Chain A
Amino acid sequence: MDLLIHGGMVVGEDGQRRADILVREGKIVEIGETIAHLGTIPY
């Protein structure tokens, strides 16, 4: 099942940026400014 983490401030060692993260089968498959997707994880 795909999951979308929508609109968080993604933090890495080189800084932070607002991004969506798409997860499929336990792996991160896409990180982008806006990923169109139906289901999100509410938080």
Chain B
Amino acid sequence: MLVLPGVIDVHTHYGLVGARGVRTADDFYQGSISAAAGGVTTVIDYADPLPGESLPEAALKRRREAEGSIVIDFSLHVVVSSFGQQDVPELAALVEQGVTSLGEIFTSHPSLKIDTEDLRLLLVKARDAGVLVTMHAEDDVLIQKAGRLLRQLGQNDKQYHGISRPIEAEVTAIKWLIEMAAELECPLYIVHVSSGEGAKAIADARRAGQLIMGETCPHYLLLSEGKYRESGAGLYIMNPPLREAENNDALWAALAEGTLQVVTTDHCSYTRQQKEASSVCFDIMPGVPGSETLLPLLYTEGVGKGRLELPQLVKLLSGNPARIFGLYPQKGIIAVGSDADMVIFDPAKEVIITAPEQHSAAGYTPFEGWKVKGYPRLTLLRGQVIFRDGQFCGERGSGRFIHARQGQLL
């Protein structure tokens, strides 16, 4: 048996209310049970301020929503969609509360897109406060342009999702952000990088000495754009979209080389019914469930196929997430003095991933039928066994808020 540090999924959306008020199926309780089943012992979810609500108020409210329900430990990012001089003191208040990251901040979302001047101020003030800004990088102009063209042509079915949000939009946004970060001398973290070109832009910036970090997700490593032409295509709608298969290899290489430091899931669990409520790619609720399959897939497809060494896997799933988001060494490492968050992992156990065996309320998995070799036997949170051989044995509300400190810039 392998004893691994508990996995840290730094990008989850439990109980997210999306367009038209549609809420994701996994709340903090069900989502965290699913995560624990896959060896995840800490998540970082999002607090999204309502109009008129301050960043600290939103963080505290979200923390209260999770406490008493979540079964693993957690921290928070706070979403920012506008930022002015009057908001600057809120950053210090957030740090005091143990929240040291902002995002995901959109360059594309219709209602969450931040004004450029606001973003420039935020980058500088966040840097000064020791708060990391995390960005969803898709260029809004290019997405709107592609969308208009597809609508004019009547091409709005699921198969056009990839075309509606092209790689060019991601790369343009990443390069624009990198340029801004260079000018302002600020660090940045790019969420869910989906393309080899996007990763290359980050690699180039890092070689030039910039502190640009990034993550990718199993679906960008293992799935490709052809899914949008298959039956059940709507289940694979997420933003950014799946790309051509050549990007899979480029992203694996970016992980192995250290260009991207984290693998996360962007766990966003709309149900099959919610996903299939429309056949129009612009209207389908975006996002897929993923925390539960993160470790088995990365072990099987990464370590098992020689793309990653086992210590690299530990770094990508535990050590680096903890360092970057200020949880290290309480989390992310098996060491004296650290929390006893561990996964007893059977590298020989073979499992076929199927929706009925998953614990997410989504009712489907984008990796249906995938065969993995290597699966968690036990998940321990602070020394307590919370999952054993597929059975939850923890307690509702046993997860704790972890007070994040200033993270490390890797």
A25 to B333, CA, bound (A): 17
Chain A min CB distance to B134 (Å): 23
Chain B min CB distance to A41 (Å): 7
Output the nearest chain B residue to A8 by Cβ-Cβ distance: B3
Number of A interface residues at 8 Å Cβ cutoff, please give it: 24
Which residues on the B side are within 8 Å of A8 (C-beta)? 1-3, 344
Decide if A12 touches B333 in the complex (CB within 8 Å).
yes
* Complex interface bits, B316-329 against A, C-beta within 8 A gives 1, otherwise 0: 00010000000000
B310 contacts chain A at the CB level, 8 A cutoff: yes
Chain B min CB distance to A42 (Å): 9
Decide if A13 touches B315 in the complex (CB within 8 Å).
yes
* Complex interface bits, A1-31 against B, C-beta within 8 A gives 1, otherwise 0: 0010100111111111001010111111111
- On whether A21 and B385 interact (CB within 8 A), knowing A9-B2, A11-B311, A12-B333, the answer reads no
Number of B interface residues at 8 Å Cβ cutoff, please give it: 28
| Contact segment of B81-89, B203-211, B335-343 | B335-343
Decide if A9 touches B3 in the complex (CB within 8 Å).
yes
B13 contacts chain A at the CB level, 8 A cutoff: no
Which residues on the A side are within 8 Å of B3 (C-beta)? 5, 8-11, 19, 21
Which residues on the A side are within 8 Å of B178 (C-beta)? none
Decide if B340 touches A27 in the complex (CB within 8 Å).
yes
- On whether A10 and B314 interact (CB within 8 A), knowing A26-B383, A41-B378, the answer reads no
Within 8 Å by CB of A31, from B4, B5, B314, B336, lies B336
Chain A min CB distance to B253 (Å): 19
Chain B min CB distance to A43 (Å): 5
B382 contacts chain A at the CB level, 8 A cutoff: yes
Within 8 Å by CB of A26, from B311, B382, B385, lies B382
A10 to B2, CA, bound (A): 6
Chain A min CB distance to B330 (Å): 9
Chain A min CB distance to B375 (Å): 13
Within 8 Å by CB of B311, from A5, A13, A41, lies A13
B334 contacts chain A at the CB level, 8 A cutoff: yes
Decide if B311 touches A28 in the complex (CB within 8 Å).
no
Decide if B378 touches A43 in the complex (CB within 8 Å).
yes
Decide if A16 touches B334 in the complex (CB within 8 Å).
no
The winner among B333, B334, B335 for most chain A CB atoms within 10 A is B334
A14 to B333, CA, bound (A): 11
Output the nearest chain A residue to B400 by Cβ-Cβ distance: A26
Decide if B2 touches A27 in the complex (CB within 8 Å).
no
Decide if B311 touches A21 in the complex (CB within 8 Å).
no
B275 contacts chain A at the CB level, 8 A cutoff: no
Q: Can you list 14 A-B pairs, Cβ within 8 angstroms, ordered by A?
A: A3-B383, A5-B3, A9-B3, A11-B5, A12-B333, A13-B315, A23-B380, A24-B383, A27-B340, A28-B334, A28-B335, A41-B344, A41-B385, A43-B1
A interface residues with partner B (beta carbon < 8 Å):
3, 5, 8-16, 19, 21, 23-31, 41, 43
B interface residues with partner A (beta carbon < 8 Å):
1-5, 310-312, 314-315, 319, 333-340, 342, 344, 377-378, 380, 382-385
The 9 closest A-B pairs by CB, nearest first: A26-B382, A8-B3, A23-B383, A23-B340, A10-B3, A13-B315, A26-B383, A43-B344, A8-B1
